[in-house]
Amino acid sequence: MTQGSSHALHRVVVIVDENSNPFELSCATEVFGLRRTSELGRELYDFTLCAPEPRTLMRDGLFTLSGVAGLEAADTADTLIVPNRPDAHVPRRPAVLDAVRRAHARGARLVGFCSGAFTLAEAGVLDGRRATAHWRWSDSFRARFPAVRLEPDVLFVDDGEILTAAGSAAALDLGLHLVRRDHGAEAAAAVSRRLVFAVHRDGGQRQFIEQPLPAARDTSLGPLLDWARERLGTPLTVTGMAAQAAVSPATLHRRFRAQLGTTPLAWLTAERVVLACRLMERGEPAIESVARASGLGTAANLRAQLRRRTGLTPSAYRERFGPSAPSEPGEVDEPSEASEVDEPSASPA
């Protein structure tokens, strides 16, 4: 259900089960339980916790949770966040799995944080689909659920109506991604500022897998990324970024791969798409102006990149997230074949 309309708020329900991890529960509460604030001017979601029992013993018996709704609340969810537990090998309760299956059957969006992927897989809703889980459990997950297409090197996977996050902190990455998907880049940025957490972390789990320490630590990319973000509308190139960092293009590629798990070109394009989204949300009606100001260059490239990353055309994005404004006369949102390539001015070395 689209927010900002006259309809009821999109309802997010979290199932809390025995031995659930309170960190991911807190992440969901902070992202989706946000009440009306001066920054947003509105509530984004109707948020509810539910549990199979009146009292739920949380992870390692640290405390007991009570006073939440019964499991029947899961049947009213537009988005259902399933239980995650550190004892991933322990079977989930049949009542919880049945609630997940019912939600899936009626078309609710399903979300699994960290070991929540095990819950979704055990319910049978992930067969043949893409998913991720914490890298420590990759082998165990593959052995138990060979029909699931596990992607172990990413922070989260968006497979349409089923989404999974890799680890505990990746719950925030996925949560902010859902806010951006539901409400746009401006709302996601507002929530991220309140959390003091990056609205988009580049790279994937490979950054966090235990590896031998290098003899000398690479210089942080932070200053270069800040420099580039201030110049997204200019003709940046990988060669120019390497010169700013006082390294060769090849070294810059290695640092991006090691620190962010991506390439300079992919990072630059993603940042430009986020900027383009924010410009459209703020009311810029001309797609060519958005393309130029964001550094994507042409309307065709903007259309292609926006559809690739959000699934929406520019006019559909403005209609969903921007202020009321007519589409540009003669605008055609279908990308041409030539526009499917990334911006040529930032080609890798």
pLDDT digits (tens, 9 = 90+) for 99-129: 999 999 999 999 999 889 999 999 999 999 9
Query: What is the per-residue pLDDT for 29?
Result: 92
Neighbours of 70 (CB within 10 A): 11
Q: How large is the C-alpha radius of gyration of the chain? A: 21
Residue 126 near residue 120, CB atoms below 8 Å: yes
Direct distance between the N- and C-terminal alpha carbons of the chain, in angstroms, rounded to an integer: 44
Q: pLDDT tier at 162 (50, 70, 90 boundaries)?
A: very high
Query: What is the per-residue pLDDT for 251?
Result: 93
User: 0.85 exceeded by the pTM?
Assistant: no
Q: pLDDT tier at 343 (50, 70, 90 boundaries)?
A: very low
Residue 338: pLDDT over 60? no
Query: What is the per-residue pLDDT for 257?
Result: 83
Cα–Cα dist 7/46, whole Å: 12
Q: Which residues pair with 15 in a beta bridge?
A: 50
Q: pLDDT tier at 349 (50, 70, 90 boundaries)?
A: very low
Estimate the crossing angle of helix 287-294 against helix 299-310, to 10 degrees.
Answer: 80
Write down all domains in the chain, each with its CATH number in brackets.
11-195 (3.40.50.880), 221-349 (1.10.10.60)
pLDDT digits (tens, 9 = 90+) for 72-88: 999 999 999 998 888 88
Cα–Cα dist 110/60, whole Å: 26
- Across all residues in the chain, what is the average pLDDT? 82
Q: Provide the 3-class DSSP secondary structure of residue 129.
A: coil
pLDDT digits (tens, 9 = 90+) for 190-200: 888 878 676 55
Task: Tell me which DSSP letter residue 71 carries.
Answer: G
**Over pLDDT 90: what percentage of the chain?**
48
Neighbours of 127 (CB within 10 A): 12
Query: What is the per-residue pLDDT for 102?
Result: 97
Cα–Cα dist 121/104, whole Å: 12
Nearest to 109 by CA among 153, 78, 155, 73: 78
Q: Which residues pair with 151 in a beta bridge?
A: none
277 vs 86, residue with greater confidence: 277
pLDDT digits (tens, 9 = 90+) for 235-263: 899 999 999 999 999 999 988 887 777 89
Q: pLDDT tier at 7 (50, 70, 90 boundaries)?
A: low
pLDDT digits (tens, 9 = 90+) for 56-71: 999 888 899 999 999 9
Residue 13: pLDDT over 80? yes
Q: pLDDT tier at 212 (50, 70, 90 boundaries)?
A: very low
pLDDT digits (tens, 9 = 90+) for 286-324: 999 999 999 999 999 999 999 888 888 998 888 888 775
Q: How far is CA 291 from CA 150, 164, 233, 269, 348, in A?
A: 35, 32, 9, 12, 21
What are the structure tokens assigned to 97, written together? 């799995």
Do strands 46-51 and 109-113 pair parallel, antiparallel, or not at all (unpaired)?
unpaired
Residue 172 near residue 31, CB atoms below 8 Å: yes
Residue 144: pLDDT over 90? yes
What are the structure tokens assigned to 307, written together? 């559809």
Do strands 64-66 and 55-57 pair parallel, antiparallel, or not at all (unpaired)?
antiparallel
Residue 6: pLDDT over 80? no
Residue 16 near residue 65, CB atoms below 8 Å: yes
Residue 248 near residue 216, CB atoms below 8 Å: no
